[in-house]
Amino acid sequence: MLDLTGQNVAILGAGRSGLAAAKLASRCGALVTVFDSRGPEVFTSFPEELKTHANATAETGAATLSDLVIISPGIETQGEFAQSFAVNSGGLWGEIELSWRCYAGKTIGITGTNGKTTTAELVNILVSANSMSCQPCGNYGVPFAEVVLQDEVPEVVALELSSFQLETTVDFKPDAVIWLNFSADHMDRYHDLMEYFEAKQRIFAKVDDETPVVIREGETLLALPGLPGKITTFSTEEEADWFLRGDDIFCGDSHFIDVSKTRLRGLHNAENLMAACAVVEGITPEVAQAALVDYAPPVHRCELVGIFDQVEWLNDSKATNLHALEAALRSQNRPTILIAGGKEKGLDYQLLAPLLAEKVTQAIFFGEIGASIAVNFFDVVPCETVDTLEEAVKFAAQKTKPGDTVLFSPGTSSFDQFSGYEARGDAFKSAVLSLP
């Protein structure tokens, strides 16, 4: 366990990650204070022994001396608030860095723009089936620090890592890495695409030549000179160490698993499965196939809401960027009515025009950017703009024919009208199930 005895540690953010980090730092012997810009109500679930400071500002940070600052991923690292605390501290870490330094097991780091959560779940299932204890955590929803604080700490963690979490790593060195894919996202937080890319590739900062690295064939990283690690590639589109032929996944010349005998659907999920199989040392085809029989992908990820009058309704609310929307569209083999839209994130939707022309019979756009997206596609497919998701579902129902798929894949975040992609997906499902 990391020794922070007697050190003053400032925790920024009173969310789940901040609370877990505060408890862990306290266990390490630190004198902890948790700061949040919101009012005292955010600390109602905090134990009394933790010192808290509500309504914190940049002025608060400038007046605070600390040996270490631990920042929650939702707070911008380079923002005025975080930097005001960092100036008078001995270092700035994220909750991931703190937790990793306190964890003695094996860390499988998983990053990419899309597919991280499904891949973390698959790694967890396969490692567990291979007779080792495992837990998915990180950006997955359970903070890494919570896992480290458990009475029974797992031997392996499948650690989902967002760019926000990787920004604040320092010495973090995973025992194995999965890099799924990369495309534009979070352009409302980063100045440009390269800044986002640089945050993501920090996962390799301390990796050495003996670290297993599983990466999608064709990714830009493969072209970088001196990419560390023992590299294994996967792809559904190009020649790779792991590849898909029909419904069958192959590892080299050997058949490994039949995807059709699982509940995973779509090329993107086949790639997630290949990455997970490739990273789990010693997994056999028989063990993998048996372990995946009852696995269902996470909700809000091309989730089948139902089939009504021979029309499939798919909830892909987790598609918060263009790459996820593109992957969902490419996976469709039926005439598709697309519902998309949400918060403005500065993304270039025009890039999707060829794919919409190929896959989509009707596009329906809603939310803050509904009208601005539609402008890109009036000459490509029939387009309709509406204000709300409920209106979009009702309009889609009027346009369906037997054999169609209605795909709700927003391609951006939900924060114009919803508290998160989960709430947005639930609203879509409710609207579908309420149709006459």
pLDDT tens-place string over residues 297-313:
778 888 888 889 999 99
pLDDT of residue 23: 97
pLDDT of residue 186: 62
State the average pLDDT over residues 27-49. Answer: 95
* pTM: predicted TM-score of the whole model, two decimal places: 0.78
Say if residue 32's pLDDT is above 90: yes
State the average pLDDT over residues 52-70. Answer: 97
Residue 227: pLDDT band (50, 70, 90) is: confident
State the average pLDDT over residues 82-87. Answer: 96
Say if residue 24's pLDDT is above 90: yes
State the average pLDDT over residues 171-175. Answer: 98
pLDDT of residue 187: 58
In this prediction, what percent of the chain has a pLDDT beyond 90?
A: 78
pLDDT tens-place string over residues 379-413:
999 999 999 999 999 999 999 999 999 999 999 99
Q: Which residues contact 156 (CB under 8 A, 6 or more apart)?
A: 105, 106, 107, 108, 127, 132, 133, 134, 135
Average pLDDT, the chain: 93
pLDDT of residue 300: 87
Say if residue 222's pLDDT is above 90: no
State the average pLDDT over residues 347-353. Answer: 88
d(CA 137, CA 121): 9
**Structural domains present in the chain:** 8-96 (3.40.50.720), 103-291 (3.40.1190.10), 303-433 (3.90.190.20)
pLDDT of residue 185: 62
pLDDT of residue 220: 84
Say if residue 197's pLDDT is above 90: no
